[in-house]
Chains A and B, each alone.
Chain A
Amino acid sequence: MPKEVQRLDRVIIRFAGDSGDGMQLTGDRFTQETASFGNDLSTLPNFPAEIRAPAGTLPGVSSFQLHFADHDIMTPGDAPNVLVAMNPAALKANVEDVPKGETIIVNTDEFTKRALTKVGYSANPLEDGSLAEFKVSAVPLTSMTVKALEEFSISKKDAERAKNMFALGLLSWMYNRPSEGTLGFLRAKFANRPDIMSANIAAFKAGWNFGETTEDFAVSYEIRPAALPPGTYRNITGNTALSYGLIAGSELTGLPLFLGSYPITPASDILHELSKHKRFGVRTFQAEDEIAGVGAALGASFGGALGVTTTSGPGMVLKAETVGLAVMTELPLIVIDVQRGGPSTGLPTKTEQADLLMALYGRNGESPVPVLAPCSPADCFAIAIEAARIATRYRTPVIVLSDGYLANGSEPWRLPEVAQLPDLSVRFASSPNGPEGEFLPYLRDPETLARPWAVPGTAGLEHRIGGIEKSDRTGNISYSPANHDLMVRTRQGKIDGIARDIDRLDVDDPSGRAKVLVLGWGGTFGSIGAAVRRVRRAGGEVAQAHLRHLNPFPENLADVLGGYERVLVPEINLGQLALLLRGKFLVDAISYTKVRGLPFKAEELAGVLQEVIDNV
């Protein structure tokens, strides 16, 4: 008899297990199935910095949360409806996030006395009633997997390792996911190890069949595809989108892409991705350190490439001096900072947005640099193109502040039409520009204040640049007081002028009657947006705006701020944007901050918003 199918509008699932249990892969496969089914989705991987923390311990727990729905959603969700816990540590580390009444699926095979003791359970939570308020499905995932794979000539260890595919199969049945993609993935991944391939496929199917036949799972669920705008979609992470955006920036500017980078979490995937695309003329250089990464990128820019360096906070600190050189030499350079928890080594795998003031001011001297921040994983594509546009048009380093949440999180991305992407063709200087037929490397374009970009190999334009103060027009060394004052102000004026050339700040204020504006930047867009929806659903009125340009700010920011009685600024730092707004606009912004290494929860932000609204 076919089982009952219930329709849901959205579900949040969290897969949690040991670092070695393959939870990221499991989550990723479930995500791909969900994406190809046509749901809207958003993901939040959460994993330890250690590659293999001691097995079965709390620090070793790795999880992957996925929110999917039949409508458009903005975040990976606050709290899971379903927690899959592969061992006691995974249960203990995550159970507090699960609301009462929701589902917990546990792998009972791992709930041994020893494993329980290791994480501080004095009694088995599956037996002591402590999970009474949840719907608990106790499944011996490991032993069922091993049993299902008895026929295969593989080791017991390999059989046990396939338990994540059993779990994936079970969840795929529960939520009626298409399985063809996962089967294809397994065939390709283990093409050279046919035994392991067949075993994993068998484990996946066993999990599916178990769901279908056992009485433990009486219903399965259906979440219909979301009504997204027409187009072709793919699921994409922020780091992949950023990589593609850089390649697009290279194609659109007509400049070969050069990436100088040193491996660092959570930015390394950009280096990995770009190193695969040499057919686009992309040169990737794994440098000896962060300084060499940016130095080589600047050297390549001097030679006419689109020079890019990628890093995270600890690496940004090391690159500061070279970014200053790029400011002085006025060469294009893209610096990507995938922010993580700081200071120092901080929280390598967790998110934060505390590098804003460093990006703006973390260099010696008056050293203005445009700063951009993507607002979602897919937006990383557009922001990379925008960085390439500003860097090349204004001959300036540009800093992009992504973060760990955007980098590893994913969402459906509607593919852009390549033909509709902007033409960013760059023209190098080709002939002398001086009144006497000489070349003046610091004679500026009157509109952009950019200096000419004359690349080596161009006859007649030989010139010398460097970090010492430049004389206006000639670029020769100058220690003149008046010249320095002029140059400091000119460099600042050039960057300030970009404000005329960027999108105005959009405000979402459907009723037009809101008195409170919530203003965010970067990776918090989804959480803030979800909170705003909650408030509006409850009858509250609130306006939302989100900054993607942090330096310069959009021209209309002052007007936007002036249009509301209160401005709330949620940030995953201790109030860095709020400080800027107060300093630049004399706005008494309310700063709301959390630095837990995790995105904001929509419910929490909605509460804060409501409180501000209530107090107006």
Chain B
Amino acid sequence: MSEQTGGHREGPAFKGLKLVPVSDEQYTMKDFKSDQEVRWCPGCGDYAVLAAFQSFLPELGVPRENIVMVSGIGCSSRFPYYLTTYGMHSIHGRAPAVATGLAASRPDLSVWVITGDGDGLSIGGNHLIHALRRNVNINILMFNNRIYGLTKGQYSPTSEPGKITKSSPMGSLDAPFNPVSLALGAEATFVARTLDSDRKHLTGVLRAAADHQGASFVEIYQNCPIFNDDAFAPLKDPGQRDLRLLRMEHGEPLLIGEGRGVVRGEYGELGVSELSGADSARVVRHDAHRADPGYAFALSRLDYPAFEHVPIGVFRDVERPSYDELMLEQLTEAETVQGRGDLAALLAGGDTWTVD
């Protein structure tokens, strides 16, 4: 079981799946649609993410039974029920912990964590940051709608300050998290952001996440039409979005719309500047593989506070051995050096004496 590695064919399609068997089967999207009725509100952004995810899964090229979805509590956490893979809808905030135990003991699985801004950043914030720093081989998709949906509309840890909700009639007092900054501060090796409504971009980010060995963190801006409708409207409006979205591609200059680009400031911070002819040389070329997270962090601060220039795509993608791999290495080393454990010898270890 946990000893299964690799597959029959040439090798996995993605680096993050190098210990997962390769499938002989050619799946299609419908192979991943479960018979359960999807119960999100009409117009919920979760539908778009689900559809994109279902159509992406065949690309993994691994047996369906080796895919596991683990979620917490919240609207997005119903996700596993709508897929035909293995799944666990766990408890509030704890999905990264459950997934860590599963992935650490079963490197032959492709494990996906589905969480939200309340689940992942509030009650489960601790598990999230530790899963990231350990670099457990899991993919964390955090649906950020900047509101509590399932409990009917309280402000969340990503809500803008002063938000009027049922629990904050005079406006919320909390300063919000920037999830990408948080993940980078937690030593994440892969951090990306995408939008529920941009299927092509979303699929591209999922692909990159699957291709990453270790923990990948993907923030998905997701619209809640009931309690926080149009939270991301400026990023979706055809008239504005190209002026606001910074589509990051590794190795390419960071440009927004026509004539604006990302340049370095005096203290190493990044800013957006109108470019005149000579300035284009100053535009920063995106490097997602930089070992120092400082650059990615600076990028993550571009969009603060209000969606003026929002980077989407992969902020950071660096290589570091994954936790499950290291754990397996220690087990293998112990067995190689000391030999497979023998129970009788263990029990009789230490000082013994015999009574006749």
Contact = CB atoms under 8 A, between A and B. Distances in A.
A307 B104 CA distance: 12
Given A292-B126, A302-B102, A464 B81 contact: yes
B126 to A, nearest CB: 6
Contacts of B355: 38, 225, 227-233
Interface in B20-74: 34, 36, 63-71, 73
Given A299-B100, A415-B347, A476-B36, A232 B352 contact: yes
B343 A283 contact: no
Contacts of A285: 100-101, 104
Contacts of A256: 2, 105
B89 A464 contact: yes
B343 A457 contact: no
Interface string A312-325: 00000000011011
A141 to B, nearest CB: 26
Contacts of B88: 299, 302, 329, 464-466
Contact of A462 (B64, B91, B334): B64
Given A295-B94, A295-B98, A467-B89, A289 B126 contact: yes
A299 B108 contact: no
Interface stretch (A44-52, A209-217, A273-281, A608-616): A273-281
Contact of A32 (B94, B97, B101, B351): B351
Nearest to B83: A464
Given A285-B100, A459-B65, A468 B109 contact: no
A300 B71 CA distance: 15
A256 B341 CA distance: 12
Contacts of B100: 285, 287, 292, 295-296, 299
A289 B123 CA distance: 13
Contacts of A32: 351
B327 interface: yes
A477 interface: yes
B94 A292 contact: yes
Interface string A200-229: 000000000000000000000000010111
Main SS class of interface, A: mixed
Contact of A305 (B91, B105, B348, B350): B105
A296 B347 contact: no
B8 interface: no
Interface string A261-300: 0000000000000000111110101011101100111111
B90 A466 contact: yes
B18 interface: no
A303 B80 contact: no
A418 interface: yes
A234 B352 CA distance: 4
Contacts of A35: 351, 353
A402 to B, nearest CB: 19
Nearest to A285: B104
A295 B331 contact: no
A235 B349 CA distance: 10
Contacts of B98: 295-296, 298-299, 302
A490 interface: no
A579 B200 CA distance: 63
Interface in A40-65: none
Interface in A228-271: 228-235, 244, 247-248, 251, 256, 258, 260
B151 interface: no
A108 interface: no
Contacts, number: 219
Nearest to B80: A464
Contact of B89 (A181, A227, A468): A468
B201 interface: no
B109 A303 contact: yes
Contacts of B126: 288-289, 292
A299 B354 CA distance: 42
Contact of B66 (A234, A415, A456): A456
A155 interface: no
The range of chain B's interface size is 35 or more
Interface string B330-346: 11011100111101101
Given A228-B355, A232-B353, A415-B352, A281 B331 contact: yes
B348 A234 contact: yes
B353 A38 contact: yes
Nearest to A428: B1
A292 B346 contact: no
The range of chain A's interface size is 35 or more
Given A280-B341, A283-B327, A299 B97 contact: yes
The residue in B69, B344, B348, B351 that gathers the most chain A C-beta atoms within 10 A of its C-beta is B351
B97 A321 contact: no
B127 A467 contact: no
A463 interface: yes
B192 interface: no
A459 B91 contact: no
A230 B343 contact: no
B168 interface: no
A291 B94 contact: yes
Contacts of A301: 101
A176 interface: no
Contacts of B339: 279
The residue in A181, A225, A278, A461 that gathers the most chain B C-beta atoms within 10 A of its C-beta is A278
Nearest to B70: A299
B89 A278 contact: no
A467 B80 CA distance: 13
A279 B335 CA distance: 5
A483 interface: no
A462 B341 contact: no
A319 to B, nearest CB: 11
A278 B105 CA distance: 13
A458 interface: yes
Given A233-B355, A248-B343, A456-B109, A321 B91 contact: yes
B330 A304 contact: no
Nearest to A296: B101
B99 interface: yes
Nearest to A252: B343
B101 A300 contact: yes
A467 B331 contact: no
Given A324-B91, A464-B81, 5 more contacts: A247-B343, A277-B346, A279-B334, A295-B127, A304-B1
18 contacts: A36-B353, A232-B353, A234-B347, A234-B348, A234-B353, A251-B343, A258-B105, A260-B101, A283-B105, A283-B327, A287-B97, A299-B70, A300-B104, A459-B64, A460-B65, A463-B86, A464-B81, A477-B81
Interface of A: 32, 35-38, 181, 225, 227-235, 244, 247-248, 251, 256, 258, 260, 277-281, 283, 285, 287-289, 291-292, 295-305, 307, 321-322, 324-325, 329, 415-416, 418, 455-468, 476-477
Closest 10 pairs (CB-CB, A-B): A466-B89, A296-B101, A299-B101, A295-B97, A280-B341, A278-B334, A299-B98, A299-B102, A292-B97, A464-B87
